[in-house]
């Protein structure tokens, strides 16, 4: 067997930093300078889950082995979701290879407790590849687990190289609705479904619970060679109650200003929140109940001034994008989140906040049509 570890690292697409750990390399979805600014362990964890990240190879190997240290997330009493690698050969249908071995982070949202259960590394063997002649093999990494890559091997006498990257880069930033932690496989998140259909190279900056108009995210987007940029904003600000109206509007302007510093004419699509029943008309913050559903925390009337609801956030974003900024920015576009997932889709919620798999596929279909369709801002 031959190690092609360095080749595999060179073939990684969608990760913005590679953190050497001593035993291997952890792939992050933020650059190293941004990771160094993080103090919230939840954001560190979400940025370390390689959603939308793949190892993109040309190889004549009939099999590939990956040595991994996985850190899996278990929420409340739900069954442990395996870490899945989706294997795609020459653009065909994904084939899943999975593991539940590794360290577990067990989160009890209702009690606000987190427990780390250590676990060891695992080896995943991807067999039954076409072999000679060389084929295009995409290894889509788990979207719901932290992945430390320790080694990659192929049979002696076989070869592997990084596949050429010629697709236009689409950068997307959003919340858990974009991270899609509750889907089963990495190629079933709606941004990946859209990217594959559109022929785009995705940089997925969807961070569950962490879409907070952070300037380090804006600077990250600013510095990327993006052909198209989309932002799906608002829900985390409401549900975490991190801003009031006075702070939210300038923060949104500042976020957009930073991106526009180096992307003055790049098509930029801003989506308002999809349907979120708990806080549509009631301000956050929310707590997670024992059944896994979210509920707003009651607040005294004297603390409601300027507090944000989802309905109000939609109004504010619409005013900024379609009103105040549209006059000077012909490449800035507004997308109503309710057109992606609205009241008529409420039966496709897995809890009272997040769509189920069918709901995410619906979002993918609608987003692709609006953004990448013939008349969409990303069509060219």
Indicate if 329 and 221 belong to the same structural domain: yes
Indicate if 117 and 78 belong to the same structural domain: yes
Predicted confidence band at 283 (pLDDT cuts at 50, 70, 90)?
very high
Strands 64-75, 95-99: pairing is: unpaired
Tell me the pLDDT of the chain averaged across its residues. 95
pLDDT per position as a tens digit, 314-361: 999 999 999 999 889 999 999 999 999 999 999 999 999 999 999 999
Instruction: Name the least confident of 97-106, 211-220, 249-258, 288-297.
Output: 288-297
Instruction: Determine the average pLDDT of the residues in 284-290.
Output: 86
pTM of the model: 0.96
- Give the whole-angstrom CA distance, residue 233 versus residue 317: 8
- What is the DSSP code string of 147-163? EEEEEEEE-TT--EEEP
Percent of the chain with pLDDT over 90: 88
Flag whether 75 is in a domain.
Answer: yes
Indicate if 151 and 185 belong to the same structural domain: no
- Give the whole-angstrom CA distance, residue 270 versus residue 314: 11
pLDDT computed for residue 284 by the predictor: 92
For residue 91, give its domain range: 2-162
What is the per-residue burial (b if ≥16 Cβ within 10 Å, else e) of 124-161? bebeebeeeebebbbbbbbbbbbbbbbbbbbeeebebe
Residue 12 has pLDDT above 80, yes or no: yes
- Give the whole-angstrom CA distance, residue 81 versus residue 313: 33
CA distance between the termini of the chain = 44
Indicate if 282 and 237 belong to the same structural domain: yes
pLDDT computed for residue 113 by the predictor: 81
Among residues 201, 179, 204, which one has the least CA distance to residue 189? Answer: 179
Indicate if 152 and 175 belong to the same structural domain: no
pLDDT per position as a tens digit, 46-98: 999 999 999 999 999 999 999 999 999 888 777 889 999 999 999 999 999 99
Q: Structurally, how many domains does the chain consist of? A: 2
pLDDT computed for residue 3 by the predictor: 95
Distance of CA 130 to the CA centre of its chain: 30
Among residues 342, 366, 356, 182, which one has the least CA distance to residue 277? Answer: 342
Instruction: Name the least confident of 71-75, 199-203, 243-247, 249-253.
Output: 71-75
Indicate if 238 and 356 belong to the same structural domain: yes
Q: Indicate the helix (H) or strand (E) that contains 84.
A: strand 83-89
Indicate if 158 and 197 belong to the same structural domain: no
pLDDT computed for residue 108 by the predictor: 79
The CATH number of whichever domain residue 155 belongs to comes to: 2.60.120.260
pLDDT computed for residue 110 by the predictor: 65
């Amino acid at each position: 067997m031959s190690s092609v570890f360095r080749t595999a690292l060179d073939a990684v697409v969608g990760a913005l930093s590679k953190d050497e750990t001593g035993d291997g390399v952890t792939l992050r979805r933020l650059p190293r300078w941004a990771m160094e600014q993080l103090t919230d362990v939840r954001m560190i964890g979400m940025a370390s889950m390689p959603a939308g990240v793949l190892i993109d190879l040309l190889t004549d190997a009939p099999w590939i082995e990956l040595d991994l240290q996985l850190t899996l997330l278990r929420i409340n009493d739900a069954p442990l979701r395996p870490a899945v690698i989706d294997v795609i050969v020459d653009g065909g249908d994904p084939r899943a290879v999975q593991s539940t071995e590794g360290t577990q982070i067990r989160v009890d949202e209702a009690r606000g407790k987190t427990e780390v259960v250590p676990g060891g590394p695992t080896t995943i063997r991807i067999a039954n590849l076409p072999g000679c002649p060389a084929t295009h093999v995409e290894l889509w990494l788990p979207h719901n687990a932290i992945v430390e890559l320790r080694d990659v091997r192929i049979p002696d006498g076989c070869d592997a190289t990084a596949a050429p990257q010629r697709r236009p880069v689409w950068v997307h930033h959003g919340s858990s609705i974009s991270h899609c932690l509750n889907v089963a496989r990495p190629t079933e998140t709606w941004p990946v479904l859209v990217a594959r259909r559109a022929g785009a190279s995705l940089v997925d900056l969807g961070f569950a619970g962490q879409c907070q108009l952070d300037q380090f995210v804006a600077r990250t987007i600013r510095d990327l060679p993006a052909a198209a940029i989309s932002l799906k904003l608002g829900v985390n600000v409401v549900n975490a109650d991190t801003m009031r109206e006075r702070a939210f509007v300038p923060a949104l302007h500042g976020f957009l200003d930073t991106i526009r510093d180096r992307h003055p004419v790049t098509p930029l699509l801003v989506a308002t929140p999809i349907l979120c029943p708990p806080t549509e008309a009631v301000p956050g913050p929310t707590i997670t109940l024992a059944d896994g559903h979210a509920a707003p925390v009651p607040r005294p009337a004297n603390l409601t001034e300027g507090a944000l609801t989802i309905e109000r956030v939609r109004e504010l974003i619409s005013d900024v994008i379609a009103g105040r900024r549209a006059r000077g920015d012909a490449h800035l576009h507004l997308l109503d989140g309710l057109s992606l997932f609205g009241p008529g889709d409420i039966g496709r919620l897995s809890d009272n906040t997040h769509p189920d798999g069918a709901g995410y596929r619906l979002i993918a279909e609608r987003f692709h049509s609006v953004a990448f369709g013939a008349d969409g801002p990303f069509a060219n």
